[in-house]
């Protein structure tokens, strides 16, 4: 079964608008971490934001925020005031376990391609 599900293969948004990229996850662990990465056309994976399962507040990093709904097992990425440079693939990922060596694997979703238009 998919551990990370991204149901939106592609999303379109106009410049300056906000956009939400969906991510749901499946785990039986109590302790886990959720990540979002951006992959521009150049190919490198850029870390955007992190949310720990015990964090009570939603994570924010500049224009990025993570809408964490633990009971629903969702971790949606919200990008405010979209810019042309936000056009890229976006991956949601989950790390299970408490960070012990050997349990640091990230499991990735299939990604969402975001296109920002002028």
Partner 1 sequence: DVKVTQSSRYLVKRTGEKVFLECVQDMDHENMFWYRQDPGLGLRLIYFSYDVKMKEKGDIPEGYSVSREKKERFSLILESASTNQTSMYLCASSSGGENYGYTFGSGTRLTVV
CA–CA separation, 70 and 67 (whole Å)? 10
Which residue, 10 or 83, is less far from partner 1 as judged by CB? 10
Q: How far from 104 is each of 52, 95, 97, CA to CA, in Å?
A: 13, 6, 7
Q: Which residues in the 40-69 window bind partner 1 by CB under 8 A?
A: 42-45, 47, 50, 52
Q: Interacting stretch for partner 1, rule CB under 8 A, among 16-24, 64-72, 80-88, 101-109?
A: 101-109
4: enclosing H helix or E strand = strand 4-5
Would you call 11 exposed, middle or buried from its count of C-beta atoms within 10 A (0-12, 13-18, 19+)? middle
Which residue, 45 or 81, is less far from partner 1 as judged by CB? 45
Q: Is 95 helix (H, G, I), strand (E, B) or coil?
A: strand
Residue 78 is a binding residue for partner 1 (CB under 8 A): no
Q: How near is the Cβ of 23 to partner 1 at its closest, in Å? A: 12
Q: Interacting stretch for partner 1, rule CB under 8 A, among 16-24, 61-69, 74-82, 97-105?
A: 97-105
CA–CA separation, 26 and 22 (whole Å)? 14
Binding site for partner 1 (CB under 8 A): 4, 9, 33, 35, 37, 42-45, 47, 50, 52, 91, 93, 95, 98-99, 101-102, 104-111
């Amino acid at each position: 079964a998919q551990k990370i599900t991204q149901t939106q293969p592609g999303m379109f948004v106009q410049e300056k608008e906000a956009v939400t990229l969906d991510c749901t996850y499946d785990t039986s662990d109590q302790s886990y971490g959720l990540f979002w990465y951006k992959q521009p056309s150049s190919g490198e994976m850029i870390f955007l934001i992190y949310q720990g399962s015990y964090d009570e507040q939603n994570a924010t990093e500049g224009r990025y925020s993570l809408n964490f709904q633990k009971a629903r097992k969702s971790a949606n990425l919200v990008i405010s005031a979209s810019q042309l440079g936000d056009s890229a693939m976006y991956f949601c990922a989950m790390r299970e376990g408490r960070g012990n060596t050997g349990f640091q694997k990230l499991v990735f979703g299939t990604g969402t391609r975001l296109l920002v238009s002028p």
